[in-house]
């Protein structure tokens, strides 16, 4: 037997923690931040819904677009940041969700179903369509790495217009599919406008999707994703099924993207291949990188940037004294240039993205205390009782000797 064969293999710190966590999970379960996470998500959702009362209809429309984009970027940041799988075709996954929603919504409209039931069933169809496509991509992703995986996803978004043209009887080619108008429910018509109702729906869907992704990231599945990203060989030696983890990550990310596409279809009442181009797919990656890879908060900040920055540029160019042709060209090309410069500046100044600049999470109650404060030094231990300690009983035998408690030690 060679020397290399006799040398024991060592595992990295993360795979070691997987082994420790796995042994603990069998008794007490994995990390359990779910109640606190759910309460935080509920509070943030209520705050976001309350903020819609302070916005005008157009701002609520933009808010809905940000929430829909947030669904896709949240899934993408989980995929890239936790597993290291780069997808350049997430716009196609959003399109799958949008087409699934539109086709199901039109079928239900023909069947006489409308309102909230139509939206819920159509959203489920959108999630199922994107999940199926993501599952197929995930099976390929489990066998591909680096530029090969990026190339497969890139081909998917490039082939989307041709695919809709070939099956134009279903997807209506470049014109896309329109859906019936979905107004405000009867009980809320005297309270809110349609743009605010759309913002509410987008916020609720985004909250459900992002909360599910956060639970997935903080659980054993997220730990396995990090292990596969850091060292796939060591993860396999520790019993982590790398292929299954990659498929799960890609499917979860696809579901989030499909939900975002369904919300976009609900807000704009149409879906077409022109809305999910290669440029939009690259913008999703830019949003994730600018916000901070692996961070859900960073994904939200990146979504704000890619939705609001073109509007800011268009408003600024509109204030200049330019001809209509020059203003149109400047509005069409300047956002691309600004996004490129912004990406370079952010990655050079803050490699962790905008999220890396913000303060870290507040420590939990009791976690801020230092170990010396929790367990004081023997010289600083106050006297709890001035009475002398009782004399120890004489030992009779080693078998009858009691086990000393922590205080007695």
Q: What is the DSSP letter of 358?
A: S
CA torsion sign, 252 to 310 to 51 to 357? positive
User: Rounded mean pLDDT of 171-197?
Assistant: 88
Give Cα separations from 71 to 33, 77, 144, 288, 381 (angstroms). 21, 10, 25, 12, 53
Q: What are phi and psi of 178, to 5 degrees?
A: -100, 150
Distance CA 11, CA 213 (A): 28
| Residue-level pLDDT at 178 | 92
Distance (Å, rounded) from C-alpha 402 to C-alpha 397? 10
Q: Predicted confidence band at 361 (pLDDT cuts at 50, 70, 90)?
A: low
CA 233 to chain centre: 26
pLDDT tier, 258 (very low <50, low <70, confident <90, very high otherwise):
very high
3-state secondary structure of 97: helix
> 118-144, pLDDT tens digit by residue?
999 999 999 999 999 999 888 887 777
Instruction: Determine the distance from the C-alpha atom of residue 283 to the mean position of all C-alpha atoms in its chain, rounded to a whole number.
Output: 16
pLDDT above 50: residue 166: yes
Q: What is the model's pTM?
A: 0.79
Exposure string over 128-155, b if 16+ CB within 10 A, otherwise e: bbbbebbeebbeebbebeeeebbebbbe
Among 9-13, 42-46, 308-312, which is the least confidently predicted range? 9-13
How far is 103 from 236, CA to CA, in rounded Å?
42
| Per-range mean pLDDT, top range of 16-20, 120-124, 273-277 | 120-124
Question: What is the distance between the alpha carbons of residues 276 and 130, in angstroms, rounded to a whole number?
Answer: 14
301: number of Cβ within 10 Å: 20
| Res 58 pLDDT > 60 | yes
55: its two tokens: 């916005």
Extended beta strands in 97-166, E state: none
């Amino acid at each position: 037997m060679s020397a290399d064969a006799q040398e024991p293999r060592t595992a990295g710190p993360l795979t070691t923690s997987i082994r420790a966590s796995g042994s603990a999970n069998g008794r007490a379960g994995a990390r359990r931040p779910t109640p606190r996470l759910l309460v935080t998500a509920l509070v943030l959702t209520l705050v976001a819904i309350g903020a819609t009362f302070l916005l005008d209809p157009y701002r609520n429309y933009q808010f809905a677009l940000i929430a829909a984009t947030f669904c896709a970027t949240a899934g993408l940041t989980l995929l890239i940041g936790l597993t290291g799988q780069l997808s350049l075709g997430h716009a196609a996954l959003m399109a799958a969700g949008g087409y699934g929603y539109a086709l199901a919504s039109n079928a239900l409209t023909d069947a006489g179903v409308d309102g909230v039931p139509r939206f819920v069933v159509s959203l489920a169809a959108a999630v199922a369509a994107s999940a199926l496509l993501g599952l197929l991509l995930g099976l390929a992703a489990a066998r591909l790495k680096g530029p090969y995986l990026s190339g497969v996803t890139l081909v998917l978004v490039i082939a989307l217009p041709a695919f809709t043209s070939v099956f134009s009887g279903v997807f209506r080619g470049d014109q896309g599919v329109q859906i019936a108008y979905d107004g405000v429910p009867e009980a809320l018509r005297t309270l809110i406008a349609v743009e605010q109702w759309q913002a509410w729906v987008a916020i609720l869907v985004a909250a459900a999707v992002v909360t599910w992704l956060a639970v997935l990231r903080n659980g054993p599945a997220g730990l396995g994703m990090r292990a596969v990203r850091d060292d796939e060989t060591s993860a396999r030696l520790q019993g982590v099924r790398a292929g299954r983890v990659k498929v799960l990550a890609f499917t979860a990310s696809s579901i989030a993207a499909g939900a975002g596409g369904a919300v976009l279809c609900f807000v704009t009442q149409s879906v077409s291949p022109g809305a999910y181009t290669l440029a939009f797919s690259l913008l999703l990656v830019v949003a994730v990188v600018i916000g901070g890879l692996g961070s859900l908060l960073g994904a939200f900040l990146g979504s704000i940037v890619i939705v609001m920055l073109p509007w800011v540029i268009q408003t600024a160019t509109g204030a200049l004294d330019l001809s209509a042709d020059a203003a149109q060209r400047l509005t069409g090309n300047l956002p691309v240039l600004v996004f490129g410069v912004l990406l370079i500046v952010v990655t050079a100044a803050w490699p962790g993205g905008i999220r890396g600049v913000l303060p870290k999470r507040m420590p939990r109650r009791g976690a801020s205390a230092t170990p010396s404060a929790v367990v004081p030094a023997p010289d600083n231990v106050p006297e709890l009782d001035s009475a002398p300690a009782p004399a120890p009983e004489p030992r009779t035998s080693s078998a009858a000797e009691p086990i000393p408690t922590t205080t007695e030690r």
